[in-house]
Structure 1
Amino acid sequence: MRFIDAAHKAPSVGFMQPWRFVRVTDPGLRQEMHAHVDQERINTAEALGNRAEEFMRLKVEGMLACAEVLVVGLIGQRDGYVFGRRTMPEMDLASAACAIQNFWLAARAEGIGVGWVSMFDPARIRELCHMPIDSQPIAILCVGHVDAFYPAPMLEIERWDRRRLIQEIVFENSWGNTGLTV
């Protein structure tokens, strides 16, 4: 609850607080969700083509091994929130991502690991968790003690991709103008 409290103190556009947390305590529900995520993992591997085998070797979810599983979803009827969303309706998702980051940082400060699972069909997770039809599941969080934290993101260590240099992500006055001196 301390981590959820930290999440709930996150900034949100228009103070809409669009996040909701479903704590998954039923072992059968966790098994069903895991089976669904595992199938989506296979589907993702197939979509990756020549990187499929490399992908399948990565540890990308720990739903059965972790202490807690939480589903994070966006509330329904979000169209009623116009403040800060009139031209950018996706700010509800950005606000919920801030809440998840607050959760993650609070957990990390206490030595607890968090994994963000995103390989799922939102409609299936919505159905499994009996969420309102107009809500949107955005994350499955796997939370628990870990033996050790990676010294860098696991996907970076495994050379799935590399962290971009600051000069590649900060521009001056116009997109692509890399006149930045670091």
Structure 2
Amino acid sequence: MSDPLIAPERARQFTPAERRALYDVINARRDVRNEFLPDPIAPDMLRRVLEAAHAAPSVGFMQPWNFILIRNAARRQAVHAAFAEANAEAQAMFDGEKRNKYAGLKLEGILKSPLNIAVTCDRSRGGKVVLGRTHNRDMDLYSTVCAVQNLWLAARAEGLGVGWVSIFRQEDLRGLLSLPDTVEVVAYLCVGHIDECFTQPELQARGWRHKLSLDDLIMDDHWQSNAPVERDV
């Protein structure tokens, strides 16, 4: 006989309005860089956003994430300096007109946003053998990315913008955040109130890339040779 305390319950059915709201939030999500307002984030709002992140799925229920809330001006200045150094290296990797276009992009809001959040993954959490991670060690990283997505969508629903800054040397962030050897930064996020945002992804609006057609990305049963292949020239 199954334990009634752990038996599944009838699944909640969502109304058309609730479903529409979810899809609206997903489609309204943007990577925000320059539109942050200086207004502080109310503690109860921030808590709701972090609770949403903490509700993300994780393989083996390992919950490998932590959320480092970074408000200190000096620390953020140091993080911005690390970004600027890595960004100069990244710019040099592009050629010709692409390099010029890259130089005109604003790719972070580290100092403009009122809050930075480093989402980390503790790769030792759960012990040496974790259910579901036995054959793919990176499932903890993938689980942490799910927490980032939850955070991002919840923030957008609350009227907050989020920008993911990825142009760092991992070792620079590790030192600035005093991370132990078992912990990696998965996402460095800039968070704050916004009253404006792009109606389409900013990189698309600025002509850096275009959105791929979903129909070109769907395959049946196996990889198909008509998958889109794009290379910058």
TM-score range, shorter chain: over 0.9
Match of 2:211 among 148, 163, 167: 163
Change in 2 beyond 3 A, CA 1:104/1:81: farther
Match of residue 140 from structure 1: 188
Partners of 1:107 and 1:149 in 2: how far apart?
14
Q: Which has the larger radius of gyration?
A: 2
Match of residue 123 from structure 1: 171
Partners of 1:81 and 1:18 in 2: how far apart?
14
Match of 1:67 among 98, 114, 118: 114
Residues 95-104 or 69-78, more deviating: 69-78
Match of residue 38 from structure 1: 84
Superimposed CA distance per residue, residues 71-108 of structure 1 (whole angstroms, 9 cap, x where no aligned partner): 11111425624311122211111111110010000110
Match of residue 85 from structure 1: 133
Alignment of 1:54 with 2:101, yes or no, is yes
Contact 1:14 1:81 survives alignment (8 Å): no
The percentage of counterpart residues that share the same residue type is 37
Q: Count the aligned residue pairs.
A: 178
Partners of 1:8 and 1:80 in 2: how far apart?
22
Partners of 1:176 and 1:167 in 2: how far apart?
13
Match of residue 8 from structure 1: 54
Contact 1:16 1:81 survives alignment (8 Å): no
Report the alpha carbon displacement of residue 67 of structure 1 after superposing the two structures with TM. 1.1
Partners of 2:210 and 2:54 in 1: how far apart?
32
CA RMSD between the two structures: 1.5
Match of residue 96 from structure 1: 144
Partners of 2:66 and 2:136 in 1: how far apart?
21
Partners of 1:134 and 1:13 in 2: how far apart?
18
What TM-score, normalized to structure 2? 0.73
Alignment of 1:18 with 2:64, yes or no, is yes
Contact 1:71 1:140 survives alignment (8 Å): yes
Give the secondary structure class of the aligned counterpart of 1:175. Answer: coil
Residues 38-47 or 168-177, more deviating: 168-177
Contact 1:171 1:177 survives alignment (8 Å): no
What TM-score, normalized to structure 1? 0.92
Partners of 1:137 and 1:170 in 2: how far apart?
31
Partners of 2:108 and 2:198 in 1: how far apart?
15
Report the alpha carbon displacement of residue 147 of structure 1 after superposing the two structures with TM. 3.2
Code of the residue aligned with 1:52 in structure 2: it is R
